[in-house]
């Protein structure tokens, strides 16, 4: 039953090769989907181009279905998968900061790495700022320690929040993604008189 201990199965070198392969595939898909271009990334916030949004949410929905179908069939122990724990208010504030940074800078931390791989100068500066920001946070977090550790909720996932079965929540998220694709496409056509190229 997955997840497997890759180091035990393949050894350190073997597991690193698997990580390398996954990283290569991830980077390849991100770059080919336009995640390495800040103009395309930023354009989604103005409904000019929705490709990034569609790729991201399709990936989320497909991964979610694979994970929970694997769990339902006994192929994967979902409880053994790492899920970020929730600190509600710090998470909300952090999300806002990251969202503003994403719109202003055109990248999130991961996509800035993709852009650096294709030698985009704006990505390099974004990544440099990111590293400096990380260092600054590390030096200053002691001043906001109380807030930083507040509203801890542990491993808190949507089925717990909504009080629904996991399968029902998965169905709702898939519907949400599809409605969002249609709705944003509709907004795009109203504002710009065209949709994304098919």
| Closer of 118 and 143 to another protein (Cβ) | 118
Q: For the CB of residue 27, give the shortest distance to another protein in the complex, in Å.
A: 13
Residue 59's nearest CA partner among 173, 183, 161 is 173
Query: Which residues share a beta bridge with 152?
Result: 87
| Closer of 5 and 146 to another protein (Cβ) | 5
Instruction: Tell me the chain's radius of gyration from C-alpha atoms.
Output: 19
| Contacts of 67 by beta carbon, 8 Å cutoff, 6+ apart | 76, 78, 81
| Closer of 77 and 142 to another protein (Cβ) | 77
| Closer of 80 and 95 to another protein (Cβ) | 80
Q: For the CB of residue 99, give the shortest distance to another protein in the complex, in Å.
A: 14
Q: For the CB of residue 82, give the shortest distance to another protein in the complex, in Å.
A: 4
Q: For the CB of residue 13, give the shortest distance to another protein in the complex, in Å.
A: 19
Residues that bind another protein (CB under 8 A): 1, 5, 58, 61-62, 65, 68-69, 71-72, 74, 77-82, 84, 108-110, 113, 154-155, 165-168, 170-171, 173-175, 177-178, 181, 198
Dist CA 60 CA 64 (whole Å): 6
Retrieve residue 131's tokens: 């590293």
Retrieve residue 10's tokens: 């393949």
Q: For the CB of residue 65, give the shortest distance to another protein in the complex, in Å.
A: 5
| Closer of 182 and 191 to another protein (Cβ) | 182
CA 11 vs CA 5, 18, 80, 90: distances in Å: 10, 11, 20, 38
| Contacts of 64 by beta carbon, 8 Å cutoff, 6+ apart | 170, 173, 174
């Amino acid at each position: 039953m997955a997840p497997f201990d890759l180091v035990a199965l393949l050894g350190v070198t073997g597991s690193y090769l698997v990580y390398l392969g996954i990283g290569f595939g991830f980077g390849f898909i991100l770059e080919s989907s336009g995640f390495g271009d800040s103009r395309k990334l930023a354009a989604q916030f103005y409904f000019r181009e929705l490709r990034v949004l569609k790729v991201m949410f399709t990936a989320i929905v497909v991964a979610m279905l694979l994970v929970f179908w694997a769990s339902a069939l006994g192929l994967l122990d979902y409880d053994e998968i790492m899920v970020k724990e929730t600190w509600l208010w710090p998470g909300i504030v952090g999300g806002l900061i990251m969202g503003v940074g994403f719109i202003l800078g055109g990248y999130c931390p991961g996509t800035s790495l993709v852009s650096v791989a294709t030698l985009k100068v704006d990505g390099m500066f974004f990544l440099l700022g990111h590293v400096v920001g990380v260092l600054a946070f590390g030096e200053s977090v002691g001043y906001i320690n109380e807030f930083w550790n507040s509203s801890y909720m542990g491993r808190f996932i949507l089925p717990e929040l909504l009080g629904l079965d996991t399968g029902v929540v998965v169905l709702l998220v898939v519907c949400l993604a599809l409605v969002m694709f249609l709705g944003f496409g509709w907004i795009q056509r109203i504002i710009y008189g065209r949709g994304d190229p098919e």
